[in-house]
Amino acid sequence: MKKTTKLKEIIQSNDPEFIMEAHNGISAKIVEETGFKGIWASGLTISASLGVRDNNEASWTQVLDVLEFMSDATSIPILLDGDTGYGNFNNARRLVKKLEQRNIAGVCIEDKLFPKTNSFINGEAQPLADIEEFCGKIKAMKDTQQDDDFIVVTRVEAFIAGWGLKETLRRAEAYRRAGADAILIHSKRSDITEIEAFMKEWNGRHPVVIVPTKYYSIPTDRFKELGIQLVIWANHNMRASIVAMKNISRQVYREKNLMNVEGKVATIEEIFRLQQAEELEAAEKKYLPGK
């Protein structure tokens, strides 16, 4: 099955499905091996892995280069966090063209302005996109895709920017009508009250995606009760690796030897396995003379 079709099935499922963040080829591979059905290519964590801020400091083609490695390393669908689409409708539709060429299954765009700022930094101060302009962007993206199953998720930032339920509903409905395949409702509250209020009024009109980074303590059964289709664990591989890298760097720096760290890190053989070194050995036997 095509990656796009797989993502479409995930987004249209009755019960919540879960996708996990990755930010490069090896983390994408680990997400797939773990059993997840899809990958969230997070803007925050791809930026962080490149050592820059989540403010479109990495150019969109630099993000595409990372995605290409992620896509080549995996067979499950990738949903790109496409920020605002990196410009107007024209930039966004060109993005779709380039994503399809790299076998990326879908993209999520958010209704803010380029260059964006992460939702958890001064959310209230962030201006939202004009609704009509954003709807034109959605239409341009949907008109551009060659594969009918390519997914465009639209992310409503009205709660983040302090606008409340009415504006959130108004925007979600406009984006649905413009052709979005699913609506991502983002909230920075530590409880789930905004999402609950939205789901009650939304009444199953169209698939809903959530990112419970801040309301992490809510049991996932609640997401099922609310009728949510897709849950994104948005940044946890990056956060885990920061802790792991800091600990090992500190220990090696302090102890000036490797005796106590060898058992705490992945083996070199494990790296080779993740890189599929065996496949190359077999190919060499087949294609290289004298092997």
Decide if 85 contacts 95 (C-beta within 8 A). Answer: yes
Closest CA to 158 of 181, 124, 133: 124
Rule CB under 5 A: choose which of 38, 43, 106, 123 binds Mg ion. 43
Q: How far apart are CA 49 and CA 24, in angstroms?
A: 8
Distance of closest approach, residue 97 Cβ to Mg ion, in angstroms: 21
Which pair of structure tokens corresponds to residue 82?
């496409």
Binding mask 254-283 for ligand SPV (x = CB under 6 A): ------------------------------
State the first-to-last Cα distance of the chain, in angstroms, to the nearest integer.
Answer: 36
Estimate the crossing angle of helix 165-178 against helix 193-202, to 10 degrees: 50
- 119: contact with ligand SPV by CB under 6 A: yes
Binding mask 29-58 for ligand SPV (x = CB under 6 A): -------------xxx--------------
- 85: contact with ligand SPV by CB under 6 A: no
Q: How far apart are CA 59 and CA 157, in angstroms?
A: 22
Distance of closest approach, residue 234 Cβ to ligand SPV, in angstroms: 4
Closest CA to 113 of 94, 86, 92: 86
Q: Which of residues 170-209 bind ligand SPV (CB under 6 A)?
A: none
- 17: contact with Mg ion by CB under 5 A: no
Rule CB under 5 A: choose which of 17, 21, 32, 81 binds Mg ion. 81
Which pair of structure tokens corresponds to residue 34?
């773990």
- 153: contact with ligand SPV by CB under 6 A: no
Q: Which residues here bind Mg ion, judged by CB under 5 A? A: 43-44, 81
Q: Which residues here bind ligand SPV, judged by CB under 6 A? A: 42-44, 81, 118-119, 211, 213, 234-235
